[in-house]
Amino acid sequence: MYNSLFAPLEIAGKLTLRNRLVMAPMTTVSGELDGAFSSEELDYLSLRAEDGIGLIMTPACFCHKSGHAFERQVGCHTDDLIRSLARCAEAINKHGAASFLQIHHGGNAARSEFSSQPPLAPSAVASRRGGNELPRELTENEIWMIIESFARAAGRAKQAGFAGIELHGANTYLFQQFFSPFTNKRTDKWGGDKVCATCREHHLHDSMSICGRLENRSRFAREVVKAVRSEVGPKYPICYRISPEEPDPDGYSTRDAIELLKMLIQDGIDMVHVSSWEYGKGVRNDYPPGSHPTRMIRDALPREIPVIGVGSIQTPDQAMKVLEDGIDLVALGRTLLLNHDWASKVRSGQTSSIKMTLASEEERQTLLVPPPMREYTRRSIPVS
């Protein structure tokens, strides 16, 4: 009945996934003090791989110490961590799942208590996540240093045995801070506000702007992708995660995101992961009838680039609906925290035993996730 969820998928002739199920990247706040993966975290990832998920995204892993954003966040910023990365890749690969390292820089959401330096960002604009320090604007040299750190981190992932990498371009972190007119107020080639006065006067949409500012705001992501591609060679899969739109009317739209993705495909990405809290829901309401951001992106990109959909997908029927929309892969986040055995429950027809909610705080303590992560899920999985 749910056979399509278990059909293999080839990514750009580089890798074949055993099925369409992806574990969404989820920060566990459980790393070691030096940024290595803890054994609890490896067991947690390994358990979902063993259960039959096709592709496991690791939690966001910072590529440069200036990007360290969460307590006990895992890192991939030094060669000393290659052993830790190799243990993580092996914990996933040994069960036949594909392992992707999610590479991250927090930008204005980084915290000096972890990084020992003020946060760095395209412009001195505080994180929209709130509660963070005001960042300092990056110099040109620092921008190139961070681009290089993404490339080096990707090289480490490949050396460690990961099947691919995901660049964390979503959820308001550094890539998005460069692309967003809200957080990028630069006047050099790395930025530019929404559109120039002439474009605004003629009501030209950002993605059709004649002032080149969308191109400038895309430059950071493009340079990272080029640097990563040159580091890992032509055959290594690169996925780019993106938030498809920003809620504010002056933020970027899905049309703008599509322009960026088309450029990144030219530069070497193989796959796109459309980040969303609720699949199928948009916030802008400027989509063609019957569409939504993830479908718009799928429809606009070449067919050979697989697209991952995500967001509040809990049942196999909901997952099937995503595939029926033409989306290639379905990522599951919180439902895999509640159900480490989601894939085998679906395969064996025990779908009624899929846990949808948490009944009590006591039950939270029984989740098969690293213990510090249980506390961390209080906001994202409330007791109901």
Ligand X SMILES: Cc1cc2nc3c(=O)[nH]c(=O)nc-3n(C[C@H](O)[C@H](O)[C@H](O)COP(=O)(O)O)c2cc1C
Active site amino acids: 173
Count the neighbouring beta carbons within 10 Å of the beta carbon of residue 249. Answer: 8
The correct pick among 26, 153, 221, 297 for binding ligand X (CB under 6 A) is: 26
> Which spans in the chain are helix H?
39-51, 82-93, 112-115, 140-160, 174-179, 197-201, 213-232, 254-267, 293-300, 316-324, 334-338, 342-347, 361-364, 371-376
* Interaction residues for ligand X, span 198-257 (CB under 6 A): 241
C-beta of 136 vs 340, nearer to ligand X: 340
Name which of 19 and 377 has its Cβ closer to ligand X: 377
Residues in the chain: 384
- Identify the residue among 205, 262, 334, 340 touching ligand X (CB under 6 A): 334
Q: Which two tokens stand for residue 253?
A: 């739209």
Q: Which is nearer to ligand X, 171 or 291 (CB)?
A: 171
59 vs 191, beta carbon nearer ligand X: 59
Binds ligand X (CB under 6 A): choice among 187, 277, 348, 363:
277
CB 150 within 8 A of CB 176: no
Site residues for ligand X, 138-167, by CB under 6 A, read: none
Q: Give the DSSP per-residue string, 156-215.
A: HHHHHT-SEEEEEE-TTSHHHHHH-TTT----STT---SS-HHHHHTT--GGG-SS-HHH
Beta bridge partners of 57: 100
What is the CB neighbour count within 10 angstroms for residue 355? 16
Region from 4-12, 84-92, 206-214, 304-312 binding ligand X, contact rule CB under 6 A: 304-312
Taking CB under 6 A as the criterion, the residue among 15, 24, 45, 224 binding ligand X is 24
Nearest approach, Cβ of 192 to ligand X (angstroms)?
Answer: 26
Minimum CB–partner distance for residue 310 and ligand X (Å):
5
Q: Closest CB to ligand X among 232 and 373?
A: 373
C-alpha span between 62 and 68 (Å, rounded): 6
At which residue do the structure tokens 């999985």 appear?
A: 381
Which part of the chain contacts ligand X (CB under 6 A), choosing from 18-26, 44-52, 93-101, 119-127? 18-26
248: nearest Cα among 294, 183, 169, 182: 182
The distance of closest approach from Cβ of residue 29 to ligand X in the complex, given in angstroms and rounded to an integer, is 8
Out of 17, 195, 313, 367, the residue judged to bind ligand X by CB under 6 A: 313
Query: Beta strand 15-17 with 9-11: parallel, antiparallel or unpaired?
Result: antiparallel
Interaction between residue 108 and ligand X (CB under 6 A): no
Site mask for ligand X (CB under 6 A), range 45-74, x = bound: --------------xx--------------
The residue ranges that bind ligand X (CB under 6 A) are 24-27, 59-60, 102, 168, 170-171, 241, 275, 277, 310-313, 332-335, 376-377, 380
